[in-house]
Structure 1
Amino acid sequence: MTENIDEHKILHLMEHWIEHNETHLRSFNEWSRKIREAGYEETALKILEAAGKMEECNQKLQQAKDSI
């Protein structure tokens, strides 16, 4: 049985996901800085790459939201 999926539910989910990802982005950036300061440059760069992918994800989610 499929639950009812309507515009309101979809918009709510996307807003939630975008906000959730923004929380992760802030954490990634903060921890990347701390990790870099601790001397783990390559690790910090990989975390920043992950943050970039999260930003791309949010852009796609925003585009999907805008398409409704």
Structure 2
Amino acid sequence: MIEHWIEHNESHIQSFKEWAQKAKKDGFLEAAEDILEAASKVEEANDYLNKAKEGLFHLH
């Protein structure tokens, strides 16, 4: 299940980055920064999910 969450988050990260570029191009610089920050937080969540996944595999 964790691997699914990570993959799902990766698709969101890519989408966020694409929309941030569009927002920046249209002059919405603050919104673009906020969207990139959201992408960063999802990347951070994936770091924690990867740690959890590693921890679960070490139990077996």
- 1:47 Cα deviation from its structure 2 partner: 0.3
Match 1:26 to one of 14, 26, 30: 14
Using structure 1 for the length normalisation, give the TM-score: 0.81
What is aligned with 1:49?
37
TM-score of the two chains, using structure 2 as the length reference? 0.92
Gaps of 5+ in 2: none
CA RMSD of aligned residues (A): 0.3
Higher helix fraction (1 or 2) = 2
Equivalent residues in 2 for 1:1-68, closer than 5 Å: 13-68=1-56
Code of the residue aligned with 1:14 in structure 2: it is I
Higher radius of gyration, 1 or 2: 1
The sequence identity of aligned pairs, in percent, is 52
